Structure 1
Amino acid sequence: MTTGFKIIGIQIRTTNQNSQAQQDLTHLWSRFISDNLIETIPNKCSNDIFAIYTDYESDFTGRYTAIIGVTVSSLDKIPSDLIGREFPNAKFQKLTAKGLIPAAVADTWNKIWNNEISLERSYTYDYEVYGSDSQKGNNSEVDIYISIE
């Protein structure tokens, strides 16, 4: 069981079909970093960046919402160009992508999608945490939390 959290960030509705998510997520990450949005977010709990996948239309083949942001202690002050969401407690399987980022993260997701990693996914919300270990070149690590039944 993982404790719920609140997040402020930016979002996009996308799909994994025809590599659309790859383009959309690249754009979302680029905007988050280049606009230095982390500095505009009030009530930050830490500087760890979260990538959340939620509002699944069906499974990983359908449309879903991708959010990039940081956890916050309150949603009282959400900057006008950002969104705020609260995610409830849920049960997750934690996986760790190791290696050069973002390739290692993509490789882990491909293993999930191809059933190389056996999971009973609930498709409520999944997320990745980009902490200090995510910036270590070939020795980088990103934790991936997959919601399960």
Structure 2
Amino acid sequence: MNNSNQNQSERWIEVKPAMSIQGVGARTTNEAEAGPLGKIPQLWDRYFQSGLQSQISGDDQAMYALYTEYESDASGAYTLIIGNQTDEVAAAENSDELQQASVPASRYLVFRTRRGPLMEIVPEVWHEIWSYFDQAAEKRSYTGDYERYDMQQFDPANTVVDVYIAIE
């Protein structure tokens, strides 16, 4: 690991079981998000306006941003769902406006951001992720990647985010 980059995130490999995420979603691309018509900021607004964060319960006090249904790779279209972990039964009883996706069990390379402002650290870690996989021995599987936000310690001005990237 190259320690010369002070902004480099902490990394480790973790195996996670399958899970289901329910929330608000949109289909987009990284290219679209780089411009003024990106859908992600409005998707975050919809999540917080929906009141879904108040429904977080159980052992997992977290909010998720799930990247799924990849068209190809980091350059293709994907679906982003911002929501909460749920079980399949509860999900079927909720609003038609909400989307649900299952994340298969997988090996993940986890990138933990430095502590800082949310709007700064998340784009920063994604740029690191894209650069890392340009030359890494690990290969992304594109089966479902997610950002995990610990809501017990959540402060948008000073937070840490774990980004789980599914690998083969």
1:85 to 101, 117, 122: 101
Unaligned residue ranges in structure 1 (runs of 5+): none
Do structure 1's residue 7 and structure 2's residue 21 form an aligned pair?
Answer: yes
2:140 to 115, 118, 121: 121
Contact conserved, 2:104 with 2:144, CA < 8 A, in 1?
no
Residue 78 of structure 1 deviates from its aligned partner by: 2.4
Query: 1:69 aligns to what?
Result: 83
Contact conserved, 1:51 with 1:68, CA < 8 A, in 2?
yes
1:100 to 108, 113, 117: 117
Query: 2:12 aligns to what?
Result: none
Query: 2:157 aligns to what?
Result: 137
Unaligned residue ranges in structure 2 (runs of 5+): 1-14
Contact conserved, 2:52 with 2:84, CA < 8 A, in 1?
no
What is the aligned-residue RMSD (CA, Å)? 2.3
Query: 2:52 aligns to what?
Result: 37
Contact conserved, 1:127 with 1:145, CA < 8 A, in 2?
yes
Contact conserved, 1:16 with 1:22, CA < 8 A, in 2?
no
Residue 27 of structure 1 deviates from its aligned partner by: 0.7
Q: Which secondary structure state, in structure 1, belongs to the residue aligned with residue 105 of structure 2?
A: coil
Could you say which structure has the larger radius of gyration? 2
TM-score (norm 2): 0.76
> Equivalents in 2 of 1:27, 1:133: separation in Å?
23
Q: How many residues align?
A: 146
> Equivalents in 2 of 1:20, 1:127: separation in Å?
22
Q: Which secondary structure state, in structure 2, belongs to the residue aligned with residue 57 of structure 1?
A: coil
Contact conserved, 1:15 with 1:21, CA < 8 A, in 2?
no
TM-score (norm 1): 0.85
Residue 20 of structure 1 deviates from its aligned partner by: 5.1
